[in-house]
């Protein structure tokens, strides 16, 4: 009924991705706004926006396995790397000294996801055997072993300190890395990247939302809350943990492929523990078990360096001049990053999404504060 | 044969360093059920305090070490009070991630303080070596082993014979009952962090002795985590055993892997700790000496 | 029974209270405030701690504070890029310019001059060469400060701002990312550090007509197909010839009956030097190396144990090492600490004056380490050296060869700006056109004049210098030889890069 959003009369309504009209309208408006925003951002901000959208895909993947299914995975960097290198191998230049097949994006992008998912399938049985923090350690080990493999497999990665160029974003003959024009607007490469990334994010986000509102999503939540009780209730733990890791790795593979294609160059050292922590931070700061939260967290973390640069102009502590100062901007960014994780966990466990909910509830009840 | 013995001695020395870090880790985990990823950050900062007291203030090396350990312990207590206390009762995962965030902050500050140069600790061993029978061993390695044995022995004695050690053991078994018995559990937490920070500092000193303290020592500290896991997260003897296993594994890998398992690539010693951890966890999911989790549904 | 229940009750309340804090069960709003307050106090304490430490630490570091060590990322579009298309009155009405050049004077610069913005992409914190790059960037900065103080160049001051300085931490992807961010604001790159890093960004440089001064000495830069037909303005001898000269020197010292080993970083930096060693080995009949090892930088998680154990196992007479200073220190420390011995010869990026502070290592360094370089040392006699020393004193920079390296690398840029302005075109394209005619650049005596176009065999510099460690000397080294070109390098027919990946 109009004006009574809390009154639910049909099961479909209860389960819907966008239950109320307001949500549907907001969703459409936000999507349109994002697309329009692309045209107004400067090139380097558009590139950051594209990276944020791709990172959001990865964050959603991590949220699925850690936020919803409760399987702590510190190994996300490994799956991102698998995705990035699969894409580079399939989509990179052929005929050079490194592995490259020169295929188009509609092949290498899903392939990156699939190969990463296969890697996830391999890791999943370990998850079944281990619980909680021991699983975290094993996934941590996966990152380091992955680093070793990336370092040593020079014909794929170019080797450490050297790297290789990433896949070429050619979609059905159209090269996204070249300037193009659309309806009379010139689109720089960065803007094309952002639009494409937003499109992929839209699709993957809706798919993820669909997953978590259904049977599998509820099974994940049950496993997270009390996995032994879930098993007693008839949820097959092994299968669901397998699904969680596979889907999460698929998302990570896609995200990795996109992220490094936008930069154009991929180097093995990028896929270390720090990258895993960055994604954990995204979902914690954004809000665990929340798609919107993953996106907010990803955007926030991706734009954090810019925010810190702005802060640098106003805080005397940060070095902006040749002499004096204690920390340079990169270091402030890293410290802030660490501190933000700490602060959010202590103060607002629900993350940015939780803050958004608070704001929304405040305005819902305004001018009554209770 | 000599090569094998040299590698063994080297492995035991490195293992002792890992054991110190892993011990700190386990002590925090046992007493407060918090998984602290902050050991590597504390180690880097700890090494810096010693560098500061020794190089900048030009104090005697041993005085610098003692002061460094004290400052580090104080920092550990401060961290526990300010960041861990509000997290009591929160899920373990959140707290673990919080320590990761904390580690990032500590590491960056530590790197910045150390700077881009190699900082000297002023240690008396340097890179000199000593001959023991047929073996040529670096004095630093010998010092590491001896010091670690003393420190660990002292710590075990503390736990076994002193009142507060008894209190800590009681808290490790059951926090609520310990509280009911009048044990100041909060103080136990703080002391656990202080001990862990102190152990990390000592480990950092031995890592940096001889060749100097640089930002790169932090990379090795992360390998203490698999050492703790291999031994079992809640077992003190396990931490020592785990550290030694990892140290020996790395040492043998460096010595023999190129010959026998060359296909694994160079620098495999950086990954061997995790491979060992994988295999141990496959066989014993809670580590070698860890206790099986019994969970109420 | 009752007392038991009461006891349990009171225990429960006690535990709950101790867990929930002073606000008790009905925490609510007060809890929120306490938590926010705690978070704020925490941040404040850390900030205070940081400020406190900064005072103490200024005197603790052994190198001087760098000129600029902040990352790029112009937060908002700066004036430099915006004045791209404007055609208002310029200092020289006939001068064309676009990105990176403005008529407005630089901040704090000569009010009558325009401003040219240059970018720097280097390794300023985490990578293997930070200890060298920081003084090098200081050298670059001070070169331009001195030029500006003398009235600028061709009616412009040159500014290298913190916004246009990127710390890429020796990581090619970060190099490329950082470049994309600063590219709209700059005319040229005053420094692009790292061979693989510059190679990774080269396609972008070519697309953007961006001339770059490399802080990398790969032999391939001399060839137009490798450097975008002249975009890379290398200065000084490349690793390949440096290696040949090193071999000449070592054979001169020890004779030709020696065994040797090669340890180097991955990529062209290590590969180019190793290729040069090969040429020298062939010349003198030294045979194959005892072993050749790729050393992963420590900052990337590498470990010197393998290099050390190989050296101890194969006992070569000479180890040619192409890494960073940390890896050198640890390798020598490991080898000499285990009772091994070898003569170590390092390329110019392998040395860091700070190494003389390593008391444990110093005897080994003094006895068994030789360092090759491409610029005469701190007490070199030339006009350029005098100016550089004066500038270094003014900013309290301790003597460091890398300050000189950075300083010297900017002479071609100055010459290029002058040429471009003289031809009336200071756009990026104009600068690129001028590069292809850049000849006979003077280094004010620091180095022989260098020409930047022509056959590489004719124009590539082949002189290097060998230094020895001396803790008393400024910069930690004294010259063992003068600038020389060894017979191998002299005779070498340079028609292709020594090493291509």
Determine, for residues B267 and A345 on separate chains, whether the beta-carbon distance falls below 8 Å. Answer: no
Residue in chain A nearest C39 by alpha carbon: A343
Choice between C26 and C312, residue whose per-residue pLDDT is larger: C312
* pLDDT higher than 80, residue C83: no
B132-136: average pLDDT = 78
Q: Does B129 touch chain C (CB under 8 A)?
A: yes
* Selection from A67-71, B118-122, C83-87 with the highest mean pLDDT: A67-71
* pLDDT higher than 50, residue B174: yes
- Provide the shortest C-alpha distance from residue B57 to chain C (in Å): 9
Q: Does A155 touch chain B (CB under 8 A)?
A: no
Identify all chain B residues contacting C63, using CB atoms and an 8 Å cutoff: 115-117
Determine, for residues A152 and B278 on separate chains, whether the beta-carbon distance falls below 8 Å. Answer: no
A296-324: average pLDDT = 71
Q: Tell me the pLDDT of chain C averaged across its residues.
A: 79
Query: What pLDDT score was predicted for residue C35?
Result: 61
Q: How confident is the model at residue C178 (pLDDT cuts 50, 70, 90)?
A: confident
Alpha carbon separation from A23 to A20, A198, C199, C337 (Å, rounded): 5, 19, 49, 69
A177-198: average pLDDT = 83
What is the CB neighbour count within 10 angstroms for residue B147? 16
Residue in chain A nearest B89 by alpha carbon: A346
pLDDT tens for C423-451 read 888 888 889 888 888 888 888 888 888 88
Distance CA(A48)–CA(A192), nearest Å, equals: 12
Q: Which of 61-100 (B) contact C at CB < 8 A?
A: 82-83, 86, 88-89
Query: What pLDDT score was predicted for residue A369?
Result: 67
Residue in chain C nearest A260 by alpha carbon: C173
φ and ψ at residue C43, rounded to 5 degrees? -60, -40
Query: What pLDDT score was predicted for residue B19?
Result: 94
Q: How confident is the model at residue B222 (pLDDT cuts 50, 70, 90)?
A: confident
Nearest CB to B281; choose among A72, A138, A341: A138
Q: Give chains near B: 3+ CB pairs under 8 A.
A: A, C
Alpha carbon separation from C319 to C257, C291, C312, C338, C499 (Å, rounded): 14, 10, 11, 16, 20
C6-25: average pLDDT = 54
Query: What pLDDT score was predicted for residue C78?
Result: 35
Q: Do the interacting molecules here have an ipTM over 0.90?
A: no
Q: Does A338 touch chain B (CB under 8 A)?
A: yes
Residue in chain C nearest A162 by alpha carbon: C196
Q: How confident is the model at residue C71 (pLDDT cuts 50, 70, 90)?
A: very low
| Beta pairing partners, A174 | A171
C30-43: average pLDDT = 59
Residue in chain A nearest C181 by alpha carbon: A44
Query: What pLDDT score was predicted for residue C80?
Result: 36
Tally C-beta pairs within 8 A across A and C. 125
* pLDDT higher than 50, residue C61: no
Choice between C68 and A1, residue whose per-residue pLDDT is larger: A1
Query: What pLDDT score was predicted for residue A241?
Result: 93
* pLDDT higher than 90, residue A227: no
* pLDDT higher than 50, residue C327: yes
Q: Does C422 touch chain A (CB under 8 A)?
A: no
Determine the 3-state secondary structure of C466 from DSSP: strand
Determine, for residues B211 and C11 on separate chains, whether the beta-carbon distance falls below 8 Å. Answer: no
Query: What pLDDT score was predicted for residue C497?
Result: 87
Distance CA(C336)–CA(A38), nearest Å, equals: 60
Query: What pLDDT score was predicted for residue B209?
Result: 83
Nearest CB to A264; choose among C176, C300, C501: C176
Domain spans of chain C? 79-236+380-459, 239-373+464-491
- Provide the shortest C-alpha distance from residue C158 to chain B (in Å): 28
Mutate: best of C160, C175, C177, partner A, most A CBs <10 A: C177
Q: Does C141 touch chain A (CB under 8 A)?
A: yes
> Which one of 3.40.50.1820, 2.60.40.1510, 3.40.50.300, 3.40.50.2300 gives the CATH number of domain C79-236+380-459?
3.40.50.2300
pLDDT tens for C375-386 read 887 877 888 888
* pLDDT higher than 90, residue A299: yes
Query: What pLDDT score was predicted for residue C66?
Result: 35
pLDDT tens for B179-213 read 899 999 889 999 999 999 999 999 999 988 877 78
Q: How confident is the model at residue C4 (pLDDT cuts 50, 70, 90)?
A: low
Q: How confident is the model at residue B274 (pLDDT cuts 50, 70, 90)?
A: very high
Determine, for residues C337 and B127 on separate chains, whether the beta-carbon distance falls below 8 Å. Answer: yes
SS (H, E, C) chain B: CHHHHHHHHHHHHHHHHHHHHHHHHHHHHHHHCCCCCCHHHHHHHHHHHHHHHHHHCCCCHHHHHHHHHHHHHHHHHHHHHHHHHHHCCCCHHHHHHHHHHHHHHHHHHHHHHHCCCCECCCCCCCCCEEEECCEEEEHHHHHHHHHHHHHHHHHHHHHHHCHHHHHHHHHHHCHHHHHHCCCCHHHHHHHHHHHHHHHHHHHHHHHHCCCCECCCHHHHHCCHHHHHHHHCCCCHHHHHHHHHHHHHHHHHHHHHHHHHCHHHCCCCHHHHHHHHHHHHHHHCCCCCCCCCCCCCC
Query: What pLDDT score was predicted for residue A62?
Result: 96
The dihedral region occupied by B36, where left means phi > 0, alpha psi between -120 and 50, and beta the remainder, is beta
Nearest CB to B254; choose among C19, C42, C309: C309
B73-92: average pLDDT = 87
Q: Does B179 touch chain A (CB under 8 A)?
A: no
Residue in chain A nearest B101 by alpha carbon: A338
**CATH number, domain C239-373+464-491:** 3.40.50.2300
Mutate: best of A96, A149, A161, A271, partner C, most C CBs <10 A: A161
* pLDDT higher than 90, residue B149: yes
- Residues contacting C29, CB < 8 A, separation 6+: none
Query: What pLDDT score was predicted for residue A170?
Result: 87
pLDDT tens for C180-210 read 888 888 999 999 998 888 888 888 898 888 9
Q: Does A273 touch chain B (CB under 8 A)?
A: yes
DSSP C38: H
- Residues contacting A287, CB < 8 A, separation 6+: A293, A294, A296, A297, A350, A351, A352, A353, A354
Determine, for residues A145 and B271 on separate chains, whether the beta-carbon distance falls below 8 Å. Answer: yes
Identify all chain A residues contacting B264, using CB atoms and an 8 Å cutoff: 152
Q: Are B204 and B213 in contact (CB under 8 A)?
A: yes
Residue in chain B nearest C334 by alpha carbon: B127
* pLDDT higher than 80, residue B294: no
C23-40: average pLDDT = 53
* pLDDT higher than 60, residue C24: no
pLDDT tens for C223-244 read 888 888 888 888 888 899 999 9
The angle at the Cα of C190, spanning C185 to C193, to the nearest 5 degrees, equals: 110
Query: What pLDDT score was predicted for residue C56?
Result: 35
pLDDT tens for A312-359 read 667 765 554 333 345 666 777 778 888 888 888 888 888 888 898 888
pLDDT tens for A28-70 read 998 999 988 888 888 788 888 999 999 999 999 999 999 999 8
Nearest CB to C60; choose among B52, B88, B214: B52
Query: What pLDDT score was predicted for residue A57?
Result: 96
A122-132: average pLDDT = 81
Residue in chain A nearest B92 by alpha carbon: A133
* pLDDT higher than 70, residue B285: yes
* pLDDT higher than 90, residue A362: no
* pLDDT higher than 70, residue C37: no
Q: Are B24 and B199 in contact (CB under 8 A)?
A: yes
pLDDT tens for C103-128 read 888 887 788 888 999 999 998 877 78
pLDDT tens for C150-175 read 888 888 899 888 788 888 888 787 88
* pLDDT higher than 80, residue C293: yes
Query: What pLDDT score was predicted for residue C60?
Result: 34
């Amino acid at each position: 009924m109009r004006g009574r959003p809390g009154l639910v009369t049909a099961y479909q309504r209860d389960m819907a991705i966008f239950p109320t009209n307001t949500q549907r309208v907001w969703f459409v408006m936000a999507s349109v706004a994002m697309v329009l925003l692309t045209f107004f951002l400067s090139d380097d901000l558009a590139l950051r926006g594209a990276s944020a959208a791709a990172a959001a895909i990865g964050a959603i993947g991590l949220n699925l396995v850690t936020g919803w299914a409760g399987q702590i995975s510190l190994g996300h960097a490994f799956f991102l790397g698998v995705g990035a290198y699969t894409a580079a191998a399939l989509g990179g230049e052929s005929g050079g000294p490194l592995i490259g097949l020169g295929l188009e994006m509609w092949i290498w992008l899903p392939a990156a996801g699939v190969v990463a998912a296969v890697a996830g399938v391999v890791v999943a049985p370990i998850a079944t055997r281990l619980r909680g923090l021991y699983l975290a350690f094993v996934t941590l080990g996966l990152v380091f072993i992955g680093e070793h493999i990336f370092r040593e497999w020079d014909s794929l990665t170019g080797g450490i300190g050297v790297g290789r160029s990433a896949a070429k974003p050619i979609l059905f003959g159209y090269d996204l890395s070249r300037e193009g024009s659309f309806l009379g607007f010139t689109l720089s490469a960065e803007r094309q990247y952002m639009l494409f990334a937003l499109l992929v994010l839209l699709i993957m986000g809706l798919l993820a939302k669909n997953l978590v509102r259904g049977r599998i999503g509820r099974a994940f939540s049950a496993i997270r809350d009390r996995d032994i009780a879930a098993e007693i209730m008839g949820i097959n733990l092994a299968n669901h943990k397998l699904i969680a890791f596979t889907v999460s790795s698929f998302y990570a593979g896609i995200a990795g492929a996109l992220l490094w294609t936008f930069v154009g160059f991929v180097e093995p050292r990028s896929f270390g523990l720090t990258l895993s922590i960055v994604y954990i931070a995204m979902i914690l700061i954004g809000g665990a078990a929340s798609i919107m939260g993953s996106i907010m967290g990803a955007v926030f973390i991706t734009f954090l360096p810019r925010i810190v640069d702005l802060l640098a102009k106003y805080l005397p502590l940060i070095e902006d001049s040749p002499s004096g100062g204690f920390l340079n901007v990169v270091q402030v960014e890293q410290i802030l990053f660490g501190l933000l994780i700490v602060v959010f966990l202590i103060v607002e466990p629900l993350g940015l999404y939780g803050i958004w909910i608070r704001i929304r509830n405040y305005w819902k009840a305004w001018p009554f504060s209770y | 044969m000599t090569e094998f013995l040299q590698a063994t001695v080297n492995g035991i020395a490195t293992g002792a360093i890992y054991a110190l870090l892993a011990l700190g880790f386990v002590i925090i985990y046992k007493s407060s059920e918090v998984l602290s990823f902050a050991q590597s950050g504390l180690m880097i900062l700890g090494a810096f305090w010693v560098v500061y007291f020794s190089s900048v203030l030009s104090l005697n090396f041993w005085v610098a070490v003692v002061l460094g350990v004290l400052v580090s312990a104080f920092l550990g207590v401060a961290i526990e009070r300010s960041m861990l206390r509000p997290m009591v009762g929160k899920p373990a995962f959140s707290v673990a991630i919080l320590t990761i965030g904390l580690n990032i902050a500590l590491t960056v500050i530590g790197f910045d303080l150390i700077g881009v140069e190699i900082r000297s600790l002023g240690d008396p061993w340097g890179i000199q070596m000593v001959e023991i029978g047929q073996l040529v061993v670096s004095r630093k390695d010998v010092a590491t082993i001896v010091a670690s044995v003393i420190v660990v022995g002292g710590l075990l004695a503390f736990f076994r014979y002193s009142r507060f050690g008894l209190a800590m053991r009681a808290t490790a078994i059951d926090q609520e009952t310990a509280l009911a018995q009048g044990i100041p559990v909060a103080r136990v937490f703080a002391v656990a962090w202080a001990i862990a920070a102190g152990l990390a500092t000592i480990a950092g000193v031995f890592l940096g002795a001889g060749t100097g303290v640089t930002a790169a020592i932090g990379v090795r500290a992360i390998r203490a985590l698999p050492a703790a896991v291999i031994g079992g997260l809640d077992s003190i003897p396990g931490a020592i055993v785990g550290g030694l296993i990892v140290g020996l594994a790395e040492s043998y890998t460096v010595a023999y892997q190129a010959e026998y398992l060359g296909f694994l690539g160079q620098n495999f010693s950086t990954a061997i700790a995790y491979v060992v951890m994988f295999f141990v966890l496959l066989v014993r999911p809670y580590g070698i000496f860890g206790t099986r989790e019994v969970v109420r549904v | 029974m009752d007392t038991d229940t009461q006891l349990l009750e009171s225990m429960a309340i006690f535990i709950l209270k101790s867990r929930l804090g002073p606000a008790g069960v009905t925490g609510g709003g007060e809890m929120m405030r306490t938590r926010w307050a705690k978070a704020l106090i925490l941040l404040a304490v850390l900030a205070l701690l940081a400020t406190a430490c900064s005072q103490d630490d200024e005197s603790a570091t052994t190198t001087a504070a760098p000129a600029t060590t902040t990352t790029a990322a112009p937060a908002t579009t700066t004036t430099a890029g915006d004045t791209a298309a404007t055609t208002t009155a310029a200092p020289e009405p006939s001068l064309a310019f676009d990105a990176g050049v403005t008529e407005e004077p630089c901040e704090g610069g000569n009010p009558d001059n325009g401003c040219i913005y240059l970018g720097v992409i280097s390794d300023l914190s985490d990578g293997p060469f930070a200890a060298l790059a920081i003084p090098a960037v200081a050298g670059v900065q001070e070169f331009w400060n001195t030029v500006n103080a003398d009235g600028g160049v061709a009616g412009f001051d040159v500014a290298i701002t913190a916004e246009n300085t990127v710390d890429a931490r020796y990581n090619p992807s970060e190099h490329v990312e950082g470049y994309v961010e600063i590219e709209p604001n700059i005319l040229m790159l005053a420094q692009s550090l790292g061979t693989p890093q510059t190679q990774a960004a080269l396609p972008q440089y070519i697309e953007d007509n961006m001339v770059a001064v490399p802080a990398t000495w790969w032999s391939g830069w001399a060839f137009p197909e490798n450097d975008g037909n002249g975009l890379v303005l290398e200065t000084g001898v490349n690793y390949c010839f440096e290696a040949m000269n090193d071999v000449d020197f070592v054979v001169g010292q020890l004779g030709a009956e020696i065994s040797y080993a090669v340890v180097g970083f991955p990529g062209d930096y290590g590969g180019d030097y190793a290729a040069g060693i090969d040429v020298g080995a062939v010349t003198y009949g030294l045979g194959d190396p005892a072993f050749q090892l790729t050393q992963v930088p420590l900052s990337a998680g590498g470990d010197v144990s393998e290099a050390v154990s190989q050296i101890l196992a194969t006992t070569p007479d000479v180890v040619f090492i192409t890494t960073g200073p940390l890896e050198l220190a640890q390798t020598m420390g490991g080898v000499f600490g285990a009772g091994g011995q070898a003569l170590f010869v390092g390329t110019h990026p392998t040395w860091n004056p700070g190494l003389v502070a390593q008391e444990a290592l110093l005897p080994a360094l003094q006895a068994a380490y030789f360092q090759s370089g491409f610029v005469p040392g701190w007490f070199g006699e030339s006009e350029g050296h005098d100016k550089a020393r004066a500038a270094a004193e003014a900013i309290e920079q301790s003597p460091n060869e890398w300050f000189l390296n950075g300083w010297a690398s900017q002479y071609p840029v100055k010459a290029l700006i002058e040429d471009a302005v003289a031809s009336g075109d200071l756009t990026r394209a104009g600068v690129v056109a001028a590069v292809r005619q850049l000849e006979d650049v003077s280094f004010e005596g620091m180095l022989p004049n260098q020409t930047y176009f022509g056959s590489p065999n004719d124009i590539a510099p082949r002189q290097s210098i060998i230094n020895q460690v001396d803790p008393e000397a400024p910069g930690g080294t004294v010259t063992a030889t003068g600038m020389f070109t060894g017979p191998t390098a002299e005779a070498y027919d340079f028609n292709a890069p020594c090493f291509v990946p």
